[in-house]
Amino acid sequence: MATAPELSDDEAHLASLGYKQELHRSWSGFSNFAISFSIISILAGCFTSFGLGWNNGGPAAIAWGWPIISIFILLIGFSMSELVSAYPTSGGIYWWAAKLGGPKAGYYTGWLNLIGLIAIVASVAYGCATFLDLTLSTFSESWAEGYSLYRVFLIFLAILAIAAVVNIFSSQLLAILNNVSVWWHVAGALIVVLVLVVVPDHHASAGDVFGTLVNNTGLFGGETSGFGFLLYVLPMAAILTQYTITGYDASAHLSEETRSAANAAAKGIWRSIFYSAIGGWILLLSFLFAVQDIDGVSAGGGGVAVIFGQALTSGWAGVVLLISTAGQFFCTVACLTSCSRMLFAFSRDGAVPGAKQWASLSRSRVPAKGVLLCAVVAAIITLPALVEVDINGAPVPVAFFAVVSIGVVGLYVCFAIPIFLRWRMGDRFPVGKWNLGRKYKWINAIALVQIVLTSIVALFPTSAGGMPWDSSFEWKFVNYTPLLVGGALILLWIFWHVSVKKWFTGPKTTVDLPAGVSSSDEIGLEKRGGSAHGG
């Protein structure tokens, strides 16, 4: 009788969690770090969502807010690193919640994660399209004269299509692209900083950068003091950091394709946050010191392209925009990878309509149909971007900011559920190779408070015109995050009670386990759990 092949440590760990090795485990620890670093993408978030920080607080809000918020996000990352070390599966956050809190917790977490990931794909791809259009406009006057929202949207669709083709082609190609992306982000950010330090004839003072406040929302009469500004406007600047440094759950979603995943995926999460936080702050400070006219930036909607236009020649501005655009494309590809793997894992457990289709793999062992679905839904939820919106006479991409907020709320709320369940479980939690020891008690608690506060802020209307009780109210100004996320939660609640709770049992097993043994969070993890400390 033929002897069964011996399983590697990774395959044995995965089998103990109930899954056989289906995806191709070809990713190194660096590749795992690289995809999260690429999705965080300081060349994307720092450029595309800069206006959120500028319009809701200005230079001081960005200069001080970025490092402060980054510290809290790192604590969230530490919490998630401990979880992925214990449970390195493609289901990631959903799987953790289901095992620690039951099928219902897993169901809501999985859908919030999926909604957040699709929104991140949409926002990054649309930001890439916007910056590609800006880049071409810088090099061509005729292109600049033909600007339209429809043209940008068509570019957006093309970028989504290309990213989908790249994803479907090969997981090995994806790993190579993500490795290249890391160095592009490091070298590209360094070049941008050097250009903004050397080329401009004038730089803002430290007092201007760290002490100037701006309220470009039209709220509270444009005041930069008082409770309205401090408690409503200024907190919205935090979304710049919270949106940019997100998507690091990709290290968890790609853990089934990563070697030595229990250690490598854990390090991939927190290291991608740490290095992005440092690089992003330096990059943002270079933007702020390059500002020539604060009022001019506000009149232009708070976008970085206005700063580059003030401080640089068209040639240098084009170079900076091109570097950012390429980084954003790498980010789009990586985001779509992460999203499709989450859809694959969730569908593998039967939680998504048409699950068999989205859990199927191509000859290259890639969830090709899942990739296409994620891209199509991302395009649909971005349709409101075709509506032109001006606030205080400046063009402001309200729809883009709404998609950003949807991504922040969806992802961070789904992160909070397993973090809370792990915190509640206390010392009974079966730790993996990388763990927090007893520091989890305060790290988990602070992470949860930060997520709750940020998620509330992300639901705020971003202008007076978006408030139903204001005389200037119009639907085009509305931050539709509460409508989409709230509507999705209501539908999920209805589906759960009408149907899902009768058949959904959480993660399913795809591997034969010994008689009398079930796939649970206790199986073998105690043996794998090292001493109580991080790695």
Per the CB < 8 A criterion, the answer to whether 511 and 19 are in contact is yes
Per the CB < 8 A criterion, the answer to whether 355 and 347 are in contact is yes
As a whole number of angstroms, the distance between CA 477 and CA 390 comes to 9
Partner residues linked to 215 by β-bridges = 56
Which residues, in sequence order, are CB contacts of 483 under 8 Å at separation 6+?
Answer: none
What's the maximum distance between 2 C-alpha atoms anywhere in the chain? 82
Looking up tokens 């992470």 gives: 447
Residue 534 domain-assigned? no
Q: For the stretch 456-481, what's the b/e string if a residue is b when 16 or more beta carbons lie within 10 angstroms of its beta carbon?
A: ebbebbbbbbbbeeeeeeeeebbbbb
Closest by CA to 256, choosing from 89, 143, 417, is: 89
As a whole number of angstroms, the distance between CA 74 and CA 65 comes to 14
Give the three-class secondary structure for 519.
coil
The residue length of the chain stands at 535
As a whole number of angstroms, the distance between CA 453 and CA 247 comes to 19
Q: What pLDDT, on a 0 to 100 scale, did the predictor assign at position 535?
A: 40
The token pair that represents 72 in the structure block: 């809290």
Give the three-class secondary structure for 508.
coil
Instruction: Tally the C-alpha atoms within 13 A of residue 467's C-alpha that lie toward its C-beta.
Output: 12
Quick one: the chain helix, strand, coil %, rounded to 5?
A: 70, 0, 25
The token pair that represents 284 in the structure block: 């943002």
Residue 532 domain-assigned? no
Q: What angle do CA 502, 506, 511 make, to 5 degrees?
A: 120
The token pair that represents 183 in the structure block: 């160095």
Residue 21 domain-assigned? no
Residue 523 domain-assigned? no
Closest by CA to 514, choosing from 10, 1, 18, 6, is: 18
Looking up tokens 């894992």 gives: 345
pTM score of the predicted model = 0.84
Which residues, in sequence order, are CB contacts of 471 under 8 Å at separation 6+?
Answer: none
As a whole number of angstroms, the distance between CA 520 and CA 527 comes to 14
The token pair that represents 422 in the structure block: 């792990």
Looking up residue 66, the CATH number of its domain turns out to be: 1.20.1740.10
Q: What pLDDT, on a 0 to 100 scale, did the predictor assign at position 389?
A: 67
The token pair that represents 212 in the structure block: 């100037």
Residue 529 domain-assigned? no
| Distance linking the first and last C-alpha atoms of the chain | 42
Q: What is the dihedral of CA 265, 269, 274, 278, to 10 degrees?
A: 110
DSSP annotation of 148: -
As a whole number of angstroms, the distance between CA 80 and CA 534 comes to 12
Q: Which domain holds residue 463?
A: 27-505
Partner residues linked to 394 by β-bridges = 391
Residue 194 domain-assigned? yes
Q: What pLDDT, on a 0 to 100 scale, did the predictor assign at position 512?
A: 60
Give the three-class secondary structure for 251.
helix
Residue 522 domain-assigned? no
Q: Taking each helix axis from N to C terminus, what angle separates 261-289 and 9-16, rounded to the nearest 10 degrees?
A: 90
Strand 214-215 relative to strand 394-395, pairing: unpaired
Radius of gyration of the chain (CA): 23
Residue 526 domain-assigned? no
Q: Assign residue 479 a region: left if phi > 0, alpha if psi is -120 to 50, beta otherwise? A: beta
Tally of structural domains, the chain: 1
Burial of 217 (0-12, 13-18, 19+ CB in 10 A): buried
The token pair that represents 350 in the structure block: 């039967």
As a whole number of angstroms, the distance between CA 73 and CA 448 comes to 10
As a whole number of angstroms, the distance between CA 342 and CA 110 comes to 8
Question: Would you give per-residue pLDDT tens digits along the chain (535 residues)?
Answer: 445 557 677 677 777 776 677 666 767 778 888 878 888 889 988 998 899 999 999 999 999 999 999 999 999 999 999 999 988 887 778 889 988 999 999 999 999 989 888 988 998 999 999 999 999 998 888 888 877 888 999 999 999 999 999 898 866 777 778 778 888 998 999 999 999 999 999 999 999 999 999 998 888 888 888 899 999 999 999 989 998 998 888 888 778 778 877 788 899 999 999 999 999 999 999 999 999 999 999 988 898 999 999 999 989 999 999 999 999 999 999 889 889 988 988 888 888 888 888 888 877 778 889 999 999 999 998 888 887 766 555 555 666 777 778 888 888 899 999 999 999 999 999 998 899 999 999 999 999 999 999 989 888 887 777 788 777 777 777 777 888 888 888 998 999 999 888 888 887 776 665 444 444 443 333 333 443 344 4
Sign of the CA dihedral running 72, 73, 78, 84:
positive
